[in-house]
Structure formats: structure tokens, C-alpha cells
A and B are shown apart, each in its own frame.
Chain A
Amino acid sequence: MFTHLNTVSYYSFRYGVASPSALAQKATELAMPGVALVDQDGLSGAVEFFQACSMYGVKAHIGVNLPLVTHNKTSRFIALARDSSGFKALNRLITAHHEVGLTFDVLETIANLLSVDTGLVILLGPESQLAECIFQGQYNVANQVISRWQKTGFDVRPEIVSHRTEYVANQRTSLYSTYFARQYFRWSIDCSLQPVLSNAVRYLGTKQARTADVLDATRNLTTLSRSNVSKRNQEACLYSETHMQKLAVEITGDTTTAQKLLMHTHQLAASLEVTSDTLGIGKVFLPELSVIMNSSAHTFDTRWDSSPAKPLTLKQQESETHKANQLLRDRCLRSYSQYQQTEESNSRLDAELDVIFGLGFSTYFLTVATIVDSIKAKGIRVAARGSGAGSFVNYLLGISVLDPLQYGLLMERFLSPLRNSLPDIDIDVESHRRLEIYDDISERFGSQRVAAVAMFDTYRVRQAIRDVGRALGIPAGEIGVFAKAFPRIRARSIRDALEEFPELRSSNVAKLAQTGQLNRMLDLVEGLDGLPRHIALHPCGVLISDASFIDRIALQTSNQGFPLSQYGKEDVETLGLLKLDVLGIRMQSAMSYAIDEVQRTQAQAIALDAIDFADSETFELIQSTRTLGCFQIESPGQRELIGKFAPDTFNDIIIDISLFRPGPVKSDMITPFLEGRHGWKEIQYLHPRLKGILRETSGVVVFHEQVIRILSEMTSCSFAEADLKRRQFGDSDQIRSLRAWFYSSGLKNRFDLDVIDRVWDILVSFASFGFCKAHAAAFAIPTYQSAWLKHHFPAAFYAGVLTHDPGMYPKRAIVHDARLHGVPVLPVDINKSASDYRVEAHLQSWAVRIGFSDIKNISEDEVDSIVSQQPFRSLYDFYQRTYVSFTQVEALISLGAFDSLHTHVTRRDLLLHLHEITKQPTDNLFVFEPDIEPSGLAEFTLSEKLQIEIETLGIDMSAHILELYRETLGRLPITYAQDLLSCRSGQEVLVVGIKVSTQTPPMRSGKRVIFVTLDDATGPIDITFFTDMQDAYAQTIFSSSLLLAKGVIRRTGPRGISLRGTGCWDLQDVSGDNLSVVSLAHHKSALSAG
């Protein structure tokens, strides 16, 4: 009966190799009674490990490997939890390690604070101070160390390890030799200690050992060599009991003594009891009501040594719950008094409150409401997202702005009396102010109760290639090119990617791989797949809990200085913690910026959350498909869909968002919907009794809410039950019993068998891709708001979008969209530009002025120094008063930023002038501003200007970049975007443009297509290249930015158009001499097509 007490997973970052689940699985295969997880510095793997062990039926032991500082030297020890007091101590130890570092004093403080005693087991292995003393032969010091440890009251055990390395005096690897293990073991026995045997496990088996070597090299930022790799062999495996018995004999020297060592180990393992209760699995820990209602701020400097919380008595808990229910009801009724009350709304409110009270979640809603109030009070835009928009209580609390009754949204999809799990409320806020909100929450609830959710940055293909490359000693430049050739995919898919992706298939890397020369490299890259590299702040999750938080969750501090739980997203849910997803949404920032700009320039306040959701002009804009920059509806695919759909109500936008998803697109739900919608075909309802449910989507099932209603109507079950049944559709184990239930209840409710058959088929196929209407509705709000802003305040809208960059298009594409939309975009001007994009009055209208901050390599300080000193009289004045580097001044001149100050000279003159100014002595106070004389140097040509603009700003300010090719293009039969709509289906056209985006999504067959979007100054053009064209043109598509492409038109609706690519060339290659190649090619195919 052997139990490994020292096992690490890959949550020992860049050290361990196996996943926690794999360790549990392997221990089961080896028929071990249990296995411990003792990762370095944290418990990130603990929940996964515990759950996997429960599943496999092995006992999980939880511990951690931590550094201890004594006399300025760092050594390591392992702490294992024996019971719940030990587990609390573990969390404190880890938090203390990250806050102050561990010393014996800190250990003792924690021991006393929590009365831990033998609840914590300490293992002192080869990396410990004790082993070091024995190794150095300092037996007196060893005795002192052991008595210092025993003073803590913890159960202290020497940990005997042999990785069968060579013993060489004074060489640290000898600490893992059998020779030293025997020495350490004998000393322990002589001191009457009870040593235990472990194998300091780092990987499952020898197959993973090379990965461990690569991690060693990566951790040390070096290449693979004996001095950088911590091991000499591959013995840190999760070995079997038989192997460990053999090892015990090897170490102790005889079988009897070996048995004793094994028995100590077994007895210790048997005494460790960590249960799901210890971890807090299956419980809910909400903040105390007094904390929620108390608006005063909390501050705590340290967390590790604060006094532990006293648990509430049952009676106290009951009175808290009662108070919370009362408070929630009061808050709801307060805003309900302003609501246009109906019979329906009355019963809806009562029903929702009943469910919330029944689940005991009042505190949860009060917490979220408090936070939303406080965000609003700071003037930050906030909007609920997800199924939470389906709750009337959320609406009344001001968490969501949409009335669920008006749009037929259901609470049951969000919160159900039949599921006892905390609901998820996600809120969207302005992205650039997200951390401000974190701080606010932390202050409000006290930093002892608040932490961010962790996220693990895991190895994907590019980073894996870089690290393997460095370990193997391949030059950084070479490996960088290799890594960048890959799209952002999993490391384990590297071999498939080389065959599958059009941009790789034709590359040199793929050719080299075919020769087999890259096999070792590829193996190692695959070996790193999915390994977490380090812990990071999750982009949105915040945990809010009660005072017992710090005893249940180990905390560290994120790079941004925010307290960070060591657990990931799924784990914190398992641990019953209130997780609020605060998502930073750039579009919210962009809209907020636009509103501020309108206020600043036009003194007009816009209440964006109160605008009319039935504004016909906004719908005209949406129908025109000129929706670049708008939330959710700017992609080529969405523009095609809204062109065909022509939404004219807010509900239509909800439908549009739900339809534009892979499932509905793939199963072609869109066609029957559009046919019904436009009256091309008569709508077929499944049954007259279902007509009311399906009318809004022309008889097609689109929403989860519709499924719930259909199930309820046909089986007479409640919505809550119907939602549970709906969730079972995806589960193949449950589908049989579900079918029996549906058929029998349907027949009982007097539905015909053929109707039941048809509905069943639809529900089964729908299950995989339906969408929650509340979720879509929440998305539809910023979609509509952004379109509304684009129509009514276009200049402010573009300024916001350009400043916060929320969408998929490069800024230069947005700039040209602004021009097409009648909003002039003005160049950088030294006196008129600000840091960001600003709205500016221009020729009786409004324009957008480009700001300084997008200039390449300009620093924030430089921008500040310009903006704070504005206005300037001249270049000389500017140079005297700002701290801008010489190259940046040159860049500003070249961009024309000084043109308005010096109208009579050219930019070349100004550059010359700049050189003269800098040559002036700086110590003379009586220097006069020198005059600028026209030197006769010519002004930059348009072509030069554009080149500079693209290089330093990324935006072609002066004109569209295609202007440079005007002459070439004039000689070709080009069709421009604005004229594509007048082409007929099947017609072959030649198009041109700057590449705006490329995507390579897989088709149903698994093969990939290339989607390219070009911008030709009159609008966007979307082209699809299928597999047959990829060998010839993929290289060009991915390597060139100015493209000339040939394609065949396909009409998909009145405003719908798509192009199937049949050829593609780099515009720069075909201009000039070899122009004839393309035009001939084009001409010939045009002939054959005709």
C-alpha cells in the first residue's frame, strides 16, 4: 500500500509536466489507495485534482511546496493538510508566502491564530534546510533546525527521496542519490524521527521526461545542457508500489528496515483526511448582509494574519436571510411603483421573488445591485449581459436596462428553483475603466473578501515553438519567423496545421517537415501543449465572499497589484463563490467617449440608455449595411445577413444576432426564416397552438425561450421544468427517457402524433445551436446604440471608435468608412490635435481630427508635453517648449503637423529648419527666433506623403492608398465595390484593394476556406477562395497587402453579394511592365467565360 506524498502537476509552473487529473488516473491504474498533490507555491490544481480523485476513487491528499527563508537562505518544505484546520493553514501559508515571505515567525503566527498543531504535516525533503545540513555534515545545526520546526507544533517528517543519481561530494544533484538518501534516513532514525519515503514526482513516466528538460531550460532562459537541466536521469516518475518497495530496500539496505519506512509512509497517508467539506465544495459563501448594506469603505493592509472569522449560529443565519429578503423586496417594490403594472407583471414579480427567497439568494442580488449602483455613480457605462437580462428582478434593480416582459424573456433560463447553483450575472463596462471598478469593489467589501479569478496562460503553438527552439539552441531570429508562420492554434495541432492551413501548406516549413528533419522539434512542441506557463488575472471574473474567504482561498497579488485567487473560472464555481463577471467592452468605452465628445463640442447631453428603440432613421442605416464600426453587425457575414434581412424593429436585431452564429448558418435556418419574413413563402406553423410562440421568427425555432415555451405548452410542465428538459437535449444518455416523456405528455395534451414527431425532430436538431434570447437581447442594446450614434452623431461616433478601437477592422478602414459617410477626417495638427481622436467643427459640420497617440513610437510623456503646451506659434516655439525627441519632431513635420503654422514653406524646408534650430547654442539666453526661408526644395509628392503616413500612423490620411496606382488601375477593367451590386450572378470581375482582413475558417468538410476583405475606397469587398484556388494564390494573399483579385459574382439577395476568388496578384507586381500578364489573363478568362 504505497501512497506518493510528493507529486507535482503542471500547476508547478514550468516545472511539473502532468495534469492533476492524469496523476489521479495513473494512481488509480497503479491501484494506490491515494495520492498527494503538492504543487510549488499554490493550490491552483487542487480542485481539479480533488474532483478527479473522487471520480477515480482514490484518496486525494492536498498540500503545497513552499520556500522558507532562514538566515537569508531559502530552502523548501512541503506542507500537507491533515484536516480542515490544516487546510486553512495551507491557504494562509500560501497567502503569507506571496505577501511577506515565509519565516519561522510567520509559521508560528499562523499556527497560533488557527490552532493548527498536527493538522499540518511538514515534509522535509532533499530541498529542505534539514537535508542540506545532513549533506554538509553539520549535525548540530540539523538538530537545531529540527527543534525549531517542532516548536511550531506541526507534525514534522523527514522525506527520503532517491532519484538514483550519482553521489559526488559537494554536488547538489547528490541530494537525490541513494547514497545520500540512506545517510539521511539513518540520521532520522537515530534522532527518533519518523521518516517517510517519496519519489518527488515530476512526471508520469519517462515519456514526459524530455518535456521536463525543456521546461528546465526555459525556466533558466538557456539552452539544454547538463548544467541547466536539473536532472541527470529520468527517475522522477510516478512509480508503482513494487518499484518503491525495491527503492526502499536499496536505500535502507535491508528488507525489514525498508518495511518500516514504507509503513511510516502508509500510516501518515492514512491519517490525512481532506474532504469536499474541507475544501468548501457544494457550499455557498455570500458576503455578510452588514457588509453589503454598509457603504463605508474597508481597507486592510495584510490578509494572511487577520483573525479568523467566527461562524454564524443557525439562528443568526435565519435572521440574516429574513432581513436580506425584506431588503430585496423593498428595493424591487420601490422601482416597481414607477412601472406600468399589469396582472402579468404582478405575478411575474411575485414568482421571481419566491424563487430567489426559496434558494436563499437575496444576498446575491443585493450584492450585484450594490455594485452596479456604485459603477453608475462613478459615471461608468454598465450593461448586463447574458441570461440575466431575462429576470424582471434584475430589471427592477437596475442591473439590466431591458424590460423582459416586453421582449418575452424568461427568468427560468437564468435562475431556476430546480437548480441550486448560483446564477451568473455578467456585466459589461467600459474596458479602459475595468480595474477602477475592481478597486471600488475591493474597497467596498474589504480586500479580505474580494479577489480576482485566475487564468492560466497556457502553451500554444507559437510560444511552444519559441521555447523549444531556444532550448535546442536555434537562433532567435530564425525561430521567430518559424513561430510567426503559424496561426494561433494549440501546440498539439502543429502537425495537422502544416497540412491543413492554406497559409502553411505552401510554406518552406511544411516542406522541411515532410523530410522528417523537424520530427524532434515537433514532438517537443506537442509535449508542451496546454501546459500552463504562469498565473494571470482573468479578464473579467471578480470573487466576492465573506470573512471566511482567506481561510478557504489562497491569494496572491496579480501584476496589476490586485488580489488574485489561485483558482480558475470553473474551480471558483465549484467552491461556491460569488463570481461576478465584469467584462471590459471597448464598444462601451467608444460610446462613452462619443457621448462626452458631443457634450464637449455641442453642449448636448445624450442619455444613451433612454433613447427611442424604434428610430426609423437608425434602422435605415442598419438596412443600408453601412455598419462598419457598429457592435456585432460590422463583419462581412453580418453585413450580408442584414442586407438580406432588413431588420426594422429592435426585436429584429435580437433575431439577427441569434441567427448569425455557426449553428443556424450551417443548418440553414436563415433561408426559411427569410422566406417567411419577406412573404416569399407562406409560413408553416408546426401547430396552431404554437403559432403565438413562433410568430416573431416566422415559424422557425431560434431561441431557447421558444423551446422552453413549446415544451411547456405541449407537456403542461412549468417553465423551470421545461428548461431542465431543454438542457437534457444535448445529453445522449438522457435523450431516450426525454423522448418517452415528451411523446406521452404530448399525446395526453391532445397533440397529434405527426405533430409530436415533427416538433421532436426540430427540438433534437435545434438543441445544439439554439440561442438564449435574453443573451441576444443584451447584445442587441449596444448594437442598436452604436448604430444610433453612427447615424445621429457620426463624427463623435467615429472619434470614439477610432480612439478605443473596438472592432475587427484596422483604423485606416474606419477612417475611409468615415469619409464615405461624409465625415471628413482631418490630419494631425500641432495646435488642433489632442492625444486621442477629437470632434472638431469644420465647414458648418463636424469632422474628426486625428490625435497624436497613434503616431508610431511616440511616448505618453511626449504627447502630454505637446498637449499641455498648446498652442504654438511656430516650429521654433514648439521646439523650445516641449520635450519631444528629435525623431518624433521629424515625424510630426513629415506628417504635416506644422503645415498650418508655416504656410509659405514646404515640409522639406521645415525639416531643414529643424536641423538649424538644433545647432543653435543652448546656453545663450538672447537667441532670436530664426526666420524660415523657402529653400527651393519641392514639397513631398502625394506618393511620398502616403508612404510616410502609412509608416508612421498606419492611416493613409491624405488620400486613399490606391491613389498611388491610379494610372495602372486606369488601364485595367476594374469593378469597384460601389458598382458590385449592379453586377449579375456568374459574371467575372476584376477587383482591387488594400487587404483589410483574412480569415481561414473550416468548412463542413473540414477543409479550410480563405476569406479576404479588400477596401477599394468605395467600400468593402469580400472574396472567398476555396481549396482548388489555394495552392496557386494562398502565398500571395497572405504575404501581400495590396491585392488585385479576380472572382465570380454570386447574388444572395437584394443587397447580398459574394465573390468566389479565381485569381489573385500583388498589385505592386503587376503595375508597370508586367501589367499585361494580369490583363491578358483576365481578358482570356473573360473570353472563355463569355
Chain B
Amino acid sequence: MTKKLDDPIDLHMQDGVPARFRWRNRIFTVQRIVMYWIDVEPWWHHDYEHDVTWHIWRVEVRCLAQCLTLDVAYRDSLLSGNAFPWRIVRIFD
């Protein structure tokens, strides 16, 4: 089962891929990158002149003894400037 969510996180990258992040006051370390993909929001649904692009990583992470698979993502668009508002968008149980 998967659960969709939209929680902001504070993520740190290393060599161009997610390495660790803080979520709900806990630190998670990325163990393995499962896959990476890019998704562009359907532009015909919004009025922006520019496209809204999501970069999404499916990662296996560990916090203490707990292991999880989840999708972390950031939105790349002119609207958000250069700041990376990372978030967790999906959790696999």
C-alpha cells in the first residue's frame, strides 16, 4: 500500500542525488536510489506561461532501525525561484 502526502522536508544532496533529510525532527539517510524520473504538470490545466516540472526520486531510507521506501521530490519552476522546496510525496508501506 502506498500513501500520498505533501510534507516539506529539509533535504541534503550529494553527487547530484538525495543523501539525507530531516523529517518530523528525525534524520533519514538514503540507502539506495531505486529510480528517478521527471514529471511535468499538464500545462493546459494552469495559466502559467512556464511549465512546472517535478524531479522525483524513489529512495530507500533508514532512520535508526527503521527502513522505508518513499518518493521525495522538488518542484523546478520559475515560480519557486532557486529555492528547492523538497517534499515527501509518497510513502510505501
Contacts and interface: CB of A to CB of B under 8 A. Distances in A.
Interface of A: 164-167, 177-179, 206, 209-210, 213, 224-226, 229, 232-235, 250, 471-472, 520
B37 A165 contact: yes
Interface of B: 35-40, 42-44, 47, 51, 53, 56
A1060 B43 CA distance: 50
B39 A250 contact: no
Contacts of B42: 224-226, 229
Given A177-B35, A209-B51, 9 more contacts: A164-B37, A167-B35, A178-B37, A213-B44, A225-B42, A226-B42, A229-B42, A250-B36, A520-B47
10 contacts: A164-B36, A167-B37, A178-B35, A209-B51, A213-B43, A213-B44, A224-B42, A224-B44, A233-B37, A250-B36
Contacts of A165: 37-39
A233 B36 contact: no
A557 B37 CA distance: 42
Nearest to B17: A250
A179 B51 contact: no
Contacts of A250: 36
Contacts of B37: 164-167, 177-178, 233
Contacts of A213: 43-44
Contact of A472 (B38, B40, B44, B51): B44
B44 A166 contact: no
Contacts of A224: 42, 44
B85 to A, nearest CB: 19
Contacts of B39: 165-166, 232-233
A224 B46 CA distance: 13
A178 B36 contact: yes
Contacts of A209: 40, 51
A233 B51 CA distance: 10
B35 A232 contact: no
B43 A210 contact: yes
A165 B37 CA distance: 5
Please provide the 8 A-B residue pairs with the shortest distance between their CB atoms, ordered closest to farther. A166-B37, A224-B44, A233-B40, A164-B38, A233-B38, A179-B35, A164-B37, A234-B40
Contacts of B40: 209, 232-234
Contacts of A471: 44
A178 B36 CA distance: 7
A302 to B, nearest CB: 46
Nearest to B56: A166
Contacts of B38: 164-165, 232-233, 235
Contacts of A520: 47
A1078 to B, nearest CB: 48
Nearest to A231: B40
Contacts of B35: 166-167, 177-179
B15 to A, nearest CB: 11
A950 B36 CA distance: 67
A250 to B, nearest CB: 7
A179 B33 CA distance: 11
A960 B24 CA distance: 88
A437 to B, nearest CB: 49
Among A178, A233, A235, residue most surrounded by chain B Cβ atoms (within 10 Å): A233
Contact of B51 (A166, A178, A229, A234): A234
Nearest to A472: B44
Contacts of A235: 38
B44 A206 contact: no
B22 to A, nearest CB: 26
Given A225-B42, A233-B39, A206 B56 contact: no
A164 to B, nearest CB: 5
A165 B39 CA distance: 7
Contacts of A179: 35
Contacts of A178: 35-37
Among B37, B38, B39, B53, residue most surrounded by chain A Cβ atoms (within 10 Å): B37
Contacts of B43: 210, 213
A229 B43 CA distance: 12
Contacts of A232: 38-40
B59 to A, nearest CB: 14
A229 B42 CA distance: 10
A705 B53 CA distance: 63
B72 to A, nearest CB: 14
Nearest to A226: B42
A206 B51 contact: yes
A331 B37 CA distance: 73
Contacts of A225: 42
A226 B43 CA distance: 11
A233 B44 contact: no
Nearest to B37: A166
B73 to A, nearest CB: 11
Nearest to B50: A206
Nearest to A168: B37
Contacts of A226: 42
Nearest to A210: B43
A234 B35 CA distance: 18
A206 B36 CA distance: 19
Nearest to A232: B39
Nearest to B16: A246
Nearest to B40: A233
A235 B47 CA distance: 22
A226 B39 CA distance: 12
Among B38, B42, B43, B44, residue most surrounded by chain A Cβ atoms (within 10 Å): B44
Nearest to B71: A166
Among A166, A210, A229, A234, residue most surrounded by chain B Cβ atoms (within 10 Å): A166
A213 B51 CA distance: 13
B75 to A, nearest CB: 13
Nearest to B36: A178
A111 B47 CA distance: 53
A56 B61 CA distance: 50
Nearest to A162: B37
A520 B51 CA distance: 13
A833 B47 CA distance: 61
A472 B56 CA distance: 28
Nearest to A253: B33
A471 B56 CA distance: 28
A178 B44 CA distance: 26
B56 to A, nearest CB: 7
A209 B42 CA distance: 12
Among B39, B40, B51, residue most surrounded by chain A Cβ atoms (within 10 Å): B40
Nearest to B43: A210
B14 to A, nearest CB: 15
Nearest to A173: B37
A471 B44 CA distance: 9
Nearest to A164: B38
A97 B44 CA distance: 37
Contacts of B51: 206, 209, 234
Contacts of A206: 51
B48 to A, nearest CB: 10
A817 to B, nearest CB: 53
Contacts of B56: 166
Contacts of A167: 35, 37
B16 to A, nearest CB: 8
Contacts of A164: 36-38
Contacts of A234: 40, 51, 53
A178 B47 CA distance: 30
A609 B51 CA distance: 66
A250 B37 CA distance: 11
Contacts of B36: 164, 178, 250
A164 B55 CA distance: 10
B43 to A, nearest CB: 6
Nearest to A174: B37
A212 to B, nearest CB: 12
Contacts of A177: 35, 37
A229 B53 CA distance: 16
A540 to B, nearest CB: 41
A472 B47 CA distance: 13
A472 B45 CA distance: 10
A403 to B, nearest CB: 66
